[in-house]
């Protein structure tokens, strides 16, 4: 269940900031034991407590689940300890904003657990109610400790090198793979994999506990970008290896390493396939590894045997790019290859087993969660606004495990599963555990937002674009025209218009300040199939913006209350790019914009993302020019507020500074708000709270909504 704590008097911006956008108190990292009697997970003590603790839910005699606190991290956290730089970078890639226990690893029985706190590795026995955490020997601060499947050893990264230590704390740590320079590292995911391919790990145990797979990254040829904080000039800038589009990537290699240090390289043509994309271990003692070409049109899938030998299983070619999905490619317990493949004929992403399609063309499969039985557990979208959990038999039979207007995800293994569900009718997420020997709901301690979204969903235009409209609470239709604020993300990988009420909390608060809020998912957004996603190939501007305009005009025909003479737009990251693009290209439609952390020139962004959609800058300069904001600077006619964190190592602040310089050179007035010490996530409470108010104040001033301009509620005049 979810625990509401708001009494309705709290300021929503403050609540959203204090709860880290309502992520605190949320249970996560569910790991069911294979015997189906218990599961481990992480949860903080409340909706404003950022320190994650280790919990276990155990089945009682009557089959109910009983939660037990295993490790209270607050009792162990040391004040004033700085995390290792590699751990900070890893959390930034994962968008991790919490503290305490943020991740853990278990043995194959889910009996022994390893986690790190303040860079110190600990193990704990989940099968005992009284065992205290045991500190594991380590030479310095550690990153991503992993326990062996048999529970005897812990492998971890310290100072870019891999070490092994006894899990029971009885012996010293010993080096396994040592870094040789400042530009190489063992066991850490390279920047491209972590930021763009959703692979945040570079170290994996094989199931027999006699060897690991370890990534070795060489960044010597990757250009350095300096991350500095001008507000604190006494601090030395931080060197950040950043592979911008068209420049050198890190060299990622993979090794099979036995515990006595013998290495066997997993070989492939690195020039043809520079990206180490996925590594999925299996119960047979081996793994399935996939690598991608630089243009991401070709995928090579390889099998790694327990002894470390390599065999190519399959090569996939997809144009204009291969969309990566969660959990694949992998193998079933009897060695069959599981993939998710874009079907051109059916325009869907299909589950494929050993080369044969299994899922129906009515579903877009988004991930594989479990292959431990004869059924494959997947998540899939029957439409762009819903995601459900399905069990798919090997003969193609489909069992729907969730239903209705809702968004669902799942953690599943041989011992059972936990399904997280949210819908369009209630706030919060429910976590239903279905174990072999019991079931129940895992408690969420996350706060309920102090707003109640009232969302109306539509599909408009001949393209059936999905849209959401939110009105001020209590607004009577036909009573008055309201200024409009569009709040899209609008880019690949992320849909905003979904059947999940909690996703619209900040949009409802924005509407309650006197606006009608409109959200549109257009070209490139997921859930509609490959063809819709591929529409942004070679152009990240035209189709995306056209869909925003077409949907807005269609909604204006439906709702006379939408004042299309007063339209603002706001967004962050790709949404920030889209917001700035809107006022630059269509000032006839958009009258003010707030652009947060925007990419302004795709040649400034990283290789894997920019090149996936636009190719290499040197090979396709027309596409980069057509998608660049810098070359549009002279067109600005409308008020534009640009916001950017100076510590952002994902979308570098150079993007906003170069746009500001181009605007100034063109004689175009604009506002630029630099955020000292802020990364791409803006986790700081005061910053996050006041940013909401500042954005509202800017939009209110320039869309001419009557009302105060103070920071007390609507924000200042800028």
Over residues 241-299, the pLDDT tens digits come to: 999 999 999 999 999 999 999 999 999 999 999 999 999 999 888 999 999 999 999 99
Residue 349 backbone phi and psi in degrees, to 5: -95, 115
Give the pLDDT score at 715: 34
**Mean pLDDT to the nearest integer, 511-526:** 97
Q: Would you give the DSSP letter of residue 606?
A: B
Whether the pLDDT of residue 709 is over 70: the answer is: no
Cβ neighbours of 60 (radius 10 Å): 12
Q: 455-681: which CATH topology?
A: Rossmann fold (3.40.50)
- How does the average pLDDT of the chain come out, rounded? 93
Give the pLDDT score at 691: 87
Give the pLDDT score at 708: 37
Give the pLDDT score at 78: 72
Whether the pLDDT of residue 409 is over 90: the answer is: yes
Whether the pLDDT of residue 682 is over 90: the answer is: no
Give the pLDDT score at 626: 97
Secondary structure of 539-567 in the HEC alphabet?
A: CCCHHHHHHHHHHHHHHHHHCCCEEEEEE
Q: How far is CA 556 from CA 388, 518, 587, in A?
A: 32, 11, 17
Give the pLDDT score at 5: 44
Dist CA 340 CA 349 (whole Å): 6
Q: Is 63 left (phi over 0), alpha (psi -120 to 50) or beta?
A: left
Pairing of strands 516-521, 465-470: antiparallel
User: Is 44 strand, coil or helix?
Assistant: strand
**Domain locations in the chain?**
455-681
CA atoms within 13 A on the CB side of 658: 19
At 713, is the pLDDT very low, low, confident or very high (cuts 50, 70, 90)?
very low
Give the pLDDT score at 685: 66
Whether the pLDDT of residue 706 is over 70: the answer is: no
**Mean pLDDT to the nearest integer, 195-220:** 96
Secondary structure of 357-387 in the HEC alphabet?
A: ECCCCCCEEEEEEECCCCCEEEEEEEECCEE
**Mean pLDDT to the nearest integer, 2-7:** 43
At 2, is the pLDDT very low, low, confident or very high (cuts 50, 70, 90)?
very low
Over residues 108-151, the pLDDT tens digits come to: 999 999 999 999 999 999 998 777 999 999 999 999 999 999 99
**Mean pLDDT to the nearest integer, 318-328:** 96
Whether the pLDDT of residue 590 is over 70: the answer is: yes
Dist CA 659 CA 593 (whole Å): 14
283 close to 296: Cβ distance less than 8 angstroms: no
Q: Over pLDDT 90: what percentage of the chain? A: 87
Whether the pLDDT of residue 225 is over 90: the answer is: yes
**Mean pLDDT to the nearest integer, 596-609:** 98
**pTM for this one?**
0.94
Q: Which of 172, 103, 102 is nearest to 136 (CA)?
A: 172
711 close to 698: Cβ distance less than 8 angstroms: no
Chain-centroid distance, C-alpha 290? 20
Whether the pLDDT of residue 305 is over 50: the answer is: yes
Pairing of strands 640-645, 592-596: parallel
**What share of residues in the chain are helix, strand, coil (percent, to 5)?**
15, 35, 45
Whether the pLDDT of residue 528 is over 80: the answer is: yes
Over residues 42-71, the pLDDT tens digits come to: 999 999 999 999 999 999 999 999 999 999
Over residues 530-576, the pLDDT tens digits come to: 999 999 999 999 999 999 999 999 999 999 999 999 999 999 999 99
Cβ neighbours of residue 101 under 8 Å, at least 6 residues apart? 42, 51, 52, 53, 54, 71, 73, 115, 117
């Amino acid at each position: 269940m979810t625990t509401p704590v708001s009494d309705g008097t709290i300021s929503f911006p403050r609540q959203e900031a204090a709860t880290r956008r309502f992520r605190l108190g949320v249970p996560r990292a569910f790991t069911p034991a294979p015997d189906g009697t218990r599961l481990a997970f992480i949860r903080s003590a409340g909706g404003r407590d950022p320190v994650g603790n280790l919990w276990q839910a155990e089945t009682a005699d009557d089959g109910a689940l009983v939660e037990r606190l295993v490790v209270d991290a607050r009792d162990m956290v040391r004040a004033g300890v700085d995390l290792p730089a590699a751990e900070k970078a890893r959390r930034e890639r994962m968008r991790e904003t919490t503290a305490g226990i943020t991740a853990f690893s278990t043995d194959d029985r889910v009996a022994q657990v390893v986690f790190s706190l303040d860079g110190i590795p600990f193990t704990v026995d989940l099968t005992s109610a009284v065992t205290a955490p045991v500190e594991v020997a380590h030479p310095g601060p550690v990153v991503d400790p992993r326990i062996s499947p048999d529970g005897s050893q812990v492998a971890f990264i310290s100072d870019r090198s891999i070490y092994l230590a006894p899990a029971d704390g009885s012996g010293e740590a010993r080096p396994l793979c040592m870094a040789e320079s400042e530009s190489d590292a063992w066991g850490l995911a390279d920047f491209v994999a972590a930021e763009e391919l959703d692979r945040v790990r570079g170290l994996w145990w094989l199931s027999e506990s006699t060897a690991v797979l370890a990534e070795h990254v060489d960044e010597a040829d990757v250009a350095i970008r300096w991350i500095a904080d001008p507000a604190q000039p006494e601090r030395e800038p931080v060197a950040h290896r950043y592979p911008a589009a068209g420049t050198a990537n890190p060299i990622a290699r993979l090794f099979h390493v036995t515990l006595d240090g013998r290495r066997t390289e997993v070989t492939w043509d690195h020039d043809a396939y520079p990206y180490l994309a996925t590594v999925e271990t299996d119960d047979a003692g081996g793994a399935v590894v996939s690598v991608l070409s630089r243009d991401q049109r070709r995928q090579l899938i390889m099998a790694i045997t327990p002894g470390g030998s390599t065999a190519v299983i399959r090569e996939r070619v997809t144009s204009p790019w291969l969309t990566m999905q969660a959990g694949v490619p992998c193998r079933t317990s009897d060695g069959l290859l599981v993939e998710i493949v874009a079907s051109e004929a059916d325009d869907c992403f299909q589950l494929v087993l050993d080369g044969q399609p299994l899922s129906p063309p009515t579903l877009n499969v988004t991930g594989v969660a479990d292959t431990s039985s004869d059924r494959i557990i997947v998540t899939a979208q029957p439409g762009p606004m819903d995601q459900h959990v399905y069990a798919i038999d090997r003969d193609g039979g489909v069992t729907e495990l969730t239903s209705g207007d809702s968004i669902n995800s799942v953690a599943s293994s041989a011992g059972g599963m936990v399904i997280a569900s949210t819908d369009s009718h209630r706030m919060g997420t429910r976590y239903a555990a279905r174990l072999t020997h019991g079931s129940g709901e895992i408690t969420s301690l996350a706060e309920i937002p102090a707003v109640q979204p009232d969302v109306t969903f539509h599909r408009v235009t001949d393209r059936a674009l999905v849209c959401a409209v939110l009105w001020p609470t209590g607004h009577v239709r036909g009573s008055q025209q309201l200024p409009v604020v569009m709040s899209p993300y609008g880019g690949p990988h992320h849909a905003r218009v979904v059947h999940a009420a909690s996703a619209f909390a900040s949009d409802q608060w924005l509407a309650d300040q006197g606006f009608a809020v409109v959200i549109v998912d257009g070209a490139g957004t997921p859930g509609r199939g490959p063809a819709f996603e591929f529409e942004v190939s070679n152009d990240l501007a035209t189709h995306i913006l056209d869909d925003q305009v077409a949907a807005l005009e269609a909604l204006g025909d439906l709702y006379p209350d939408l004042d299309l003479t007063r339209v603002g737009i706001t967004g962050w990251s790709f949404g920030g790019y889209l917001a700035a693009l809107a006022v630059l290209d269509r000032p006839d439609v958009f009258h003010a914009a707030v652009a947060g952390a925007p990419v302004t020139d795709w040649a400034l962004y990283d290789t894997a993302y920019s090149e996936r959609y636009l190719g290499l800058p040197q090979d396709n300069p027309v596409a980069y020019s057509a998608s660049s904001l810098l070359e549009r600077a002279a067109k600005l006619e409308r008020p534009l507020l640009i916001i950017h964190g100076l510590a952002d190592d994902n979308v570098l602040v150079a993007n906003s500074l170069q746009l500001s310089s181009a605007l100034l050179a063109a004689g175009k007035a604009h506002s630029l708000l630099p955020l000292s010490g802020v990364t791409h996530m803006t986790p700081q409470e005061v910053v996050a709270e006041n940013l909401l108010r500042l954005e509202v104040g800017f939009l209110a001033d320039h869309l001419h909504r009557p009302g105060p301009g103070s920071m007390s509620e609507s924000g200042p005049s800028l």
